[in-house]
Amino acid sequence: MAKEFVAQPDLQFTKDLIAAGATDLKKCYQCATCSVACRISPDNRPFPRKEMIWGQWGLKERLLNDPDVWLCHQCNDCSVQCPRGANPADVLKAARKMNIQNHSWPSFMGSLVGESSLFVLAVGIPVIIVLLIVYASGWSFPEGPVVKYTAHHLPPERDGFIWVRFIQVVFTLALLFGIASLVISLKRYWNSLETYNPVVEGGPRRDFWTSLVEALKEVFTHVTFKDCEANNIRYSAHLLVFYGMIGLAVTTAIVAFNFDILGLKPPSLNGPGTVPIKVLGNVSAIAFVVGLGIMLVRRLTVPDQAGGSSYFDWLFIFFIFGTGATGLLTELIRWAGGVGSAYVLYTIHLMFVLALLLYLPFSKFAHLGYRTIAIAWSKAAGRKIDLGVKPNYTPPAKSAE
Amino acid sequence: MDHKIGVYIDTGYGIGEALDIEALSAVATGEFKVAVCKAEPYWNEPEKLAIIRNDIANESLTAVIIAGPSPRVFQQEFSFGEVITERVNLREHVVWSHPANDEDTQMLAEDYLRMGIIKTSKYVDREPFMEETDKSILVIGGGVTGMTAALEAAKAGYQVYLVEKEPRLGGWANSFHKVFTGQPPYDEIKDSPIQEKIKAVNDHDKIKVFTGNRVFSISGAPGMFDVIIRPDGPWIEKLVKEQNEWLAAKKAKEAAGGEEAETPKTAEPAAAAEEEPPEEIDFAHETVRVGAIILAAGWRPEDVSNRKNLGYGQYPDVVTSVEFEEIATKGKISRPSDGKPVNSIAFVEAIDDEVKHPLQYASSVGSLVALKQAHYLRSTNPEGKAFIFYENMRTPGQYEKFYQTMQDDPGVFMSRGVPVAVGNGTAGLTVELKDTLLGEQMKIGVDMVVISTGMVPATKDSAILNLKYRQGPFLPENPYGFTDSHFICFPYETQRTGIYVAGCVRMPLDFQSCELDAAGAALKAIQCVELVAQGKAVHPRAGDQSYPELMITRCTQCKRCTEECPFGMYDEKPDGTPLPNPTRCRRCAICMGSCPERIISFRDHSVDMIGSMVKGMHVPDEYSEKPRVVVFVCENDAYPAVDMAGINRLQYSSFVRFIPLRCLGNINMVWIADALSKGIDGIMLIGCKYGDDYQCHFVKGSELAQYRMSKISETLQRLVLESERIEVHQLSIDEYHRIPEIVDAFMETLSGFDPNPYKGF
How confident is the model over B181-191, as pLDDT tens digits?
A: 888 898 899 99
Which positions in chain A touch B440 (Cβ < 8 Å)? 1, 5
Residue A384 scores a pLDDT above 70: no
Best probe of the B interface among A6, A34, A45, A66, by most B CBs < 10 A, is A6
Best probe of the A interface among B393, B406, B435, B437, by most A CBs < 10 A, is B437
Query: How many beta carbons lie within 10 A of that of residue A336, not counting itself?
Result: 9
- A137-141, A284-288, B538-542, B590-594, range with the lowest pLDDT: A137-141
Minimal Cβ distance to A4: which of B409, B412, B443:
B443
Question: Is there a contact between B439 and A6 if contact means CB atoms under 8 Å apart?
Answer: no
pLDDT (0 to 100) of residue B275: 47
Which positions in chain A touch B439 (Cβ < 8 Å)? 45, 50
Residue B262 pLDDT level (bands cut at 50, 70, 90): very low
Cβ distance A383 to A201 under 8 Å? Answer: yes
Size of interface A-B (CB pairs under 8 A): 53
Question: Is there a contact between A18 and B440 if contact means CB atoms under 8 Å apart?
Answer: no
Instruction: Find the helix or strand (DSSP H, E) in which A34 lies.
Output: helix A33-37
Minimal Cβ distance to B443: which of A6, A15, A59:
A6
A108 near B CB under 8 A: no
Which positions in chain A touch B413 (Cβ < 8 Å)? 9, 56-58
pLDDT (0 to 100) of residue A336: 81
pLDDT (0 to 100) of residue B276: 52
In chain A, the residue whose alpha carbon lies closest to the alpha carbon of B405 is A27
Residue A229 pLDDT level (bands cut at 50, 70, 90): confident
Phi/psi of residue B446, nearest 5 degrees: -140, 165
Mean pLDDT over residues B257-265, rounded? 48
Which positions in chain A touch B446 (Cβ < 8 Å)? none
Q: Where are the alpha helices (DSSP H) in B558-651?
A: 560-564, 590-594, 607-616, 638-647
> CB-based contacts of B149: which residues, under 8 Å, 6+ apart?
B139, B294, B296, B502, B518, B519, B521, B522, B525
Which positions in chain B touch A11 (Cβ < 8 Å)? 383, 385, 410-411
pLDDT (0 to 100) of residue B279: 65
**Which residue type occupies B591?**
C
Higher-confidence position of B272 and A366: A366
Minimal Cβ distance to A53: which of B407, B438, B445:
B438
A44 near B CB under 8 A: no
A50 near B CB under 8 A: yes
In chain B, the residue whose alpha carbon lies closest to the alpha carbon of A84 is B404
A7 near B CB under 8 A: yes
The rounded distance, in Å, linking the Cα atoms of A230 and A237 is 14
pLDDT (0 to 100) of residue B278: 60
B276: three-class secondary structure by DSSP: coil
Which positions in chain A touch B400 (Cβ < 8 Å)? none
> CB-based contacts of A130: which residues, under 8 Å, 6+ apart?
A347, A350, A351, A354
Residue A12 pLDDT level (bands cut at 50, 70, 90): very high
pLDDT (0 to 100) of residue A382: 79
Question: How far does chain A reach from its first CA to its final CA, in angstroms?
Answer: 45
Distance from CA of A387 to the nearest CA of B (A): 22
pLDDT (0 to 100) of residue B290: 97
Question: Is there a contact between B413 and A56 if contact means CB atoms under 8 Å apart?
Answer: yes
Tens-place pLDDT, residues B468-512:
999 999 998 888 888 887 777 788 999 999 999 999 999 999 999
B669 near A CB under 8 A: no
CA-wise closest residue to A9 among B443, B375, B408, B342: B443
In chain B, the residue whose alpha carbon lies closest to the alpha carbon of A24 is B408
Question: Is there a contact between A27 and B441 if contact means CB atoms under 8 Å apart?
Answer: no
Residue A387 pLDDT level (bands cut at 50, 70, 90): very low
pLDDT (0 to 100) of residue A389: 44
The rounded distance, in Å, linking the Cα atoms of A233 and A305 is 11
- A108-122, A213-227, A265-279, range with the lowest pLDDT: A265-279
Which positions in chain A touch B415 (Cβ < 8 Å)? 53, 57
Tens-place pLDDT, residues B626-647:
999 999 999 999 999 999 999 9
Minimal Cβ distance to A26: which of B385, B410, B445:
B410
Question: Is there a contact between B410 and A11 if contact means CB atoms under 8 Å apart?
Answer: yes
Residue B258 scores a pLDDT above 60: no
The rounded distance, in Å, linking the Cα atoms of B15 and B39 is 10
Percent of all residues in chain B with a pLDDT value above 70, rounded to a whole number: 95
A14 near B CB under 8 A: yes
pLDDT (0 to 100) of residue B254: 83
Minimal Cβ distance to B437: which of A11, A30, A58:
A30
B404 near A CB under 8 A: yes
Best probe of the B interface among A3, A4, A8, A11, by most B CBs < 10 A, is A11
pLDDT (0 to 100) of residue B115: 97
- A141-145, A168-172, A245-249, A285-289, range with the lowest pLDDT: A141-145
- A73-87, A253-267, A344-358, range with the lowest pLDDT: A253-267
A199 near B CB under 8 A: no
Tens-place pLDDT, residues B64-76:
999 999 999 999 9
pLDDT (0 to 100) of residue B266: 40
> CB-based contacts of B161: which residues, under 8 Å, 6+ apart?
B136, B137, B138, B139, B207, B208, B210, B227, B229, B288, B290
Minimal Cβ distance to A50: which of B407, B439, B443:
B439
> CB-based contacts of B318: which residues, under 8 Å, 6+ apart?
B310, B311, B312, B422, B429, B448, B449, B451
Report the half-sphere exposure of A190 (CA within 13 A, side-chain side).
18
Which positions in chain B touch A29 (Cβ < 8 Å)? 393, 407
Higher-confidence position of B330 and B650: B650
Best probe of the A interface among B405, B412, B414, by most A CBs < 10 A, is B414
Cβ distance A111 to A118 under 8 Å? Answer: yes
Tens-place pLDDT, residues B107-164:
999 999 999 999 999 999 888 888 899 999 999 999 999 999 999 999 999 999 999 9
B445 near A CB under 8 A: yes
B549 near A CB under 8 A: no
Tens-place pLDDT, residues B362-412:
788 999 999 999 999 999 999 999 999 998 899 998 999 999 999 999 999
For the question of an ipTM over 0.90, the answer is no
B392 near A CB under 8 A: no
The rounded distance, in Å, linking the Cα atoms of B234 and B272 is 22
Question: Is there a contact between A30 and B410 if contact means CB atoms under 8 Å apart?
Answer: no
Q: In the predicted model, what is the mean pLDDT of chain B? A: 91
A1 near B CB under 8 A: yes
Best probe of the A interface among B345, B395, B407, by most A CBs < 10 A, is B407
B439 near A CB under 8 A: yes
CA-wise closest residue to B66 among B8, B116, B23: B8
pLDDT (0 to 100) of residue B20: 96
